[in-house]
Amino acid sequence: MLEEDDGVPLYSSKSSIDMKKVQTYIATLLIVSTSYLALSEDVLRAQDQDIVAVAAASPKFTTLVAALKAAGLVETLKGPGPFTVFAPTDKAFEKLPKGTLEDLLKPENKEKLTAILTHHVVAGKLLAADLKTGPIKSVGGPNLEIKAHDGKVKVSGSKVVTADIAASNGVIHAIDAVILE
């Protein structure tokens, strides 16, 4: 047994420390710190990517990205912004009546598709905490109706399912429906 100068043991084989608990604690710290670093890396990477790149990197926005390309809005949403995009997920597009999406993606319907997509975009960077109940002007013209209550946000009847997805030129809020009004 090792002792300090005053006779107090520094280490004893009869220690009351449960080594299993120490190992579990250390393993938990490693997992948490690794997860935090990975998350931080993802956030930093997103801050270097514009809205289109962030959406394109996500498997839940493939239909939106295809629609942005068909409407010719990719370059606009790669621009300096800032923009807030209420982005319908692929599941949101699946809720449209059969044939609607296919029809909208036709070249002859580019103007209508552009109007629908720009109705999902607001000038400025508005995080979920910034959204208050009331109307907000979309870049497409008509107002969006925001309802914020108890930390939940709805946009013209669609629910925000994932908020505050960071991009270098704004923010994306994933929504569960395509806003057609």
pLDDT in tens, 28-77: 777 776 665 554 444 444 458 999 999 999 999 999 999 999 999 999 88
Are 59 and 41 in a shared domain?
no
Are 156 and 167 in a shared domain?
yes
Please indicate, yes or no, if residue 12 is contained in any of the structural domains.
Answer: no
Using pLDDT thresholds of 50, 70 and 90, give the confidence band for residue 3. very low
Are 167 and 79 in a shared domain?
yes
User: Would the pTM count as exceeding 0.75?
Assistant: no
The parent domain of residue 158 ranges over 50-175
Are 96 and 143 in a shared domain?
yes
> Which positions ≥6 away from 71 have C-beta within 8 Å?
110, 113, 114, 117
CATH number at residue 150: 2.30.180.10
pLDDT of residue 92: 93
Residue 100 scores a pLDDT above 70: yes
pLDDT of residue 172: 95
Please indicate, yes or no, if residue 30 is contained in any of the structural domains.
Answer: yes
Please indicate, yes or no, if residue 4 is contained in any of the structural domains.
Answer: no
Termini Cα distance of the chain = 78
Query: What is the percent of the chain with per-residue pLDDT over 70, rounded to a whole number?
Result: 79
